[in-house]
Amino acid sequence: MSLRNKTAIAGVGASRQGTIPGSTSLSLAIEAFKDALDDCGLEKGEIDGLLTMPGTTSPEGSLNYLRLGEALGIDPRYTGSMTMGGGTAGALVQMAAMAIDAGMATTVACVFGDAAKSGGYRFNRAAGWTDSWGIWGMFAAAGNSAVSASRHMALYGTESRHLAEVAVACRRHASLNPNAVMRTPITIEEHQSSRFIVEPFRLLDCCLISDGGVCIIVTSAERARDLRQKPVLIAGMGQGYTTQNLGNEDWWYVPHQKSACEAAYAMAGVGPEDVDVAQLYDNFSMSVLLWLEHAGFCGRGEAGPFVEGGRIQIDGDLPVNTAGGNLSESYMEGWLHIVEGTRQLRGGCGERQVAGAETCLVTGRGMTLNCSNAMILQAS
Amino acid sequence: MADAAEPYAKPLPTITDENRPFWEATRRGELRMQTCGACGHVRYPIAPVCPKCLSDEAEWTRLSGRGTVFSYVVFHQVYHPAFKNDAPYNVAMVQLEEGPRLFSNIVGVANADVSVGDPVEAVFDAVTDEVAIPRFRLARGR
């Protein structure tokens, strides 16, 4: 029954990233789709599944699959769109794997594009249903994640300089990535002197806002072997959610991340000790600390001290976000985390290559604290 | 507090049949939330059924207004123009003693003098003739 190693990531592609004048969510998605076809050597007619995430600037919203499919001139056997923010990329790749295993499609392109930088974006809205949290001035993704960081600091003594370790690591890795948007290295002191956004978060705790598109092509492990690139196997998959922002006492601690990681480990038959490199969703620096705890690299409340001394940098015990992450590579809502995981396991990442990387944990989380997923990718 | 010279420009609740009992209560200086008629669970946010047992029987019961600071942040970035003159301003997640949590503000104290775990009590800020927003102050005698 397990999907372990039945499917593989055969192709990855990305558009230009950063500030792309004149781009639209559609043009960026198309650019990424073409790049992914080039990467794996497939023709567009061989794509029989299309799963998409509407950009925040996509006027068609959840009808994005229709808009993109028409633009690409493909009539898939299987399609749809999903909006879970940073939890979408992993959820769609996992859905693609399930659809392929179920015989609903053979080759699924998962695609995202958003002109968030140039075209306006929605990340600063207030949450809340019947009564908006904006009544109390509670706005933005930064607000929710700051609530999480503040309580973690109060309960466990986590400090701002621990958050700085995450920002410094991501920036160092971005400096080694020619495609990254923010490439000038930063120090812990520069983090500590950057202005507050939502305290305890400073500017350098926050992800970028970027224009860009990403495409990930999934097919069966067997078919992937005949394509251009060395297949990267999807060895384990897991998801976890909470819908209860105020109703779940542990909402701030995102315990569903632990469920997602444990499911992925169990399917792959591995544990945290087997992970060579990790791409951990970083909408804010704090999120990486939470993932380190939930993925079992350290205990509850221990992630602050865990990251001290450059431990998650490229030459540390556990290299994390080796392309720079949402904080410094580009804010593609976690889509590029899967791309980087794939590239690390293919080898050939140049200066930022983790030597001998065979197993990568990739995680995603969306709607700030609600939607989590994890995948174990393995080299073939 | 509302400045009589200028209209209140921050977000206000849209009063509907669903939330009217909450906002009518705060205007009287009372914090009321829905208590499930079947299992007794006190729920917030406002919802048509109990998230524990799905019963649609509920009564708007008066709460003590007492709680503790569950988490606490300070907004320096201005995400809504009407908060420009308030920044930096605080937002707290308050744990009420009856169980529910809600976002609110801690008033009457400097931002730096509030900590997670501090006991608080509700106060009601009449920002317009129709709306009094529940906020919290540090509890006396703590």
Confidence band for B3, pLDDT divided at 50, 70 and 90: low
Smallest CA–CA distance, residue A1 to chain B, in Å, is 33
Q: Which of B68, B71, B95 has the most A C-beta neighbours within 10 Å, making it the best mutation to test the interface with A?
A: B71
* pLDDT value at residue A123: 80
pLDDT of res. A15: 98
Q: Is the pLDDT of residue B68 over 70?
A: yes
Confidence of residue A122 (pLDDT cuts 50, 70, 90): confident
Is residue A194 within 8 Å of A12, Cβ to Cβ?
Answer: no
Using DSSP's 3-state secondary structure scheme, residue A115 falls into: strand
What pLDDT was estimated at residue B10?
97
Cross-chain CB nearest to A139 (options B44, B72, B80): B80
User: Confidence class of residue B141 from pLDDT cuts 50, 70 and 90?
Assistant: low
- ipTM of this complex > 0.90? yes
Sheet holding B32-36, edge to edge: B42-43, B32-36, B58-62
**Could B116 and A151 be called an inter-chain contact, meaning their C-beta atoms sit closer than 8 Å?**
yes
Q: Would the pLDDT of B142 be above 80?
A: no
**Active-site residue numbers of A?**
281, 331
- Please tell me if residue A146 touches chain B, with a CB cutoff of 8 Å: yes
Strands (E), chain A: 7-14, 49-53, 78-81, 107-115, 198-199, 211-220, 232-241, 277-279, 359-366, 371-379
pLDDT bucket at B31, cuts 50 / 70 / 90: very high
CATH class of the A7-120+207-379 domain in this structure: alpha beta
Q: Token match 């009601």: residue? A: B124
Give the residue from chain B lying closest to A148, CA to CA. B71
Of the candidate CATH numbers 2.40.50.100, 1.10.510.10, 2.40.50.840, 1.10.420.10, the domain formed by B20-138 belongs to 2.40.50.840
Asked if A131 and B22 come within 8 Å (Cβ–Cβ), the reply is: yes
Tens of pLDDT, residue by residue over A28-65, are: 999 999 999 999 999 999 999 999 999 999 999 999 99
A124 touches chain B (CB under 8 A): yes
| Residues in chain B within 8 Å Cβ distance of A143 | 73, 75, 91
In this predicted structure, the answer to whether residue A207 has a pLDDT above a threshold of 80 is: yes
Instruction: Considering only CA atoms, give the Rg of chain B.
Output: 16
Pairing of strands B58-62, B32-36: antiparallel
Interface-testing mutation among B12, B23, B73, B75, with chain A (most A C-beta atoms within 10 A): B73
Give the pLDDT confidence score for residue A39 in this predicted structure: 98
Helical axes A256-268 vs A285-294, angle rounded to 10°:
50
For residue A128, the model assigns a pLDDT of 87
Band of the pLDDT at B4, cuts 50, 70, 90? low
- The minimum CA-CA distance between B140 and chain A, rounded to whole Å, is 22
pLDDT of residue B6: 79
In order, the DSSP letters of A119-156 are H---TT----SSS-GGGGT--HHHHHHHHHHHHHHHHH
A372: pLDDT confidence band, cut at 50, 70 and 90? very high
| pLDDT higher than threshold 70 for residue B1 | no
Q: What is the pLDDT of residue A323?
A: 98
Mean pLDDT of A185-207: 98
Residue A206 is predicted with a pLDDT of 98
Supply the pLDDT for residue A124: 84
CA-angle at A252, arms to A157 and A314, nearest 5°: 65
- pTM above the 0.95 mark? yes
Query: Tell me, what's the pLDDT at B82?
Result: 97
User: What are the sequence ranges of the domains in chain A?
Assistant: 7-120+207-379
Quickly list DSSP for A27-74: HHHHHHHHHHHHHHT--GGG--EEEEE--TT-TTGGGHHHHHHHHHT-
Q: Name which of A133, A199, A246 is nearest B76 (Cβ-Cβ).
A: A199
Q: Is any Cβ of chain B less than 8 angstroms from the Cβ of A192?
A: no
pLDDT of residue A1: 67
Provide the terminal-to-terminal Cα distance of chain B, rounded to the nearest Å: 25
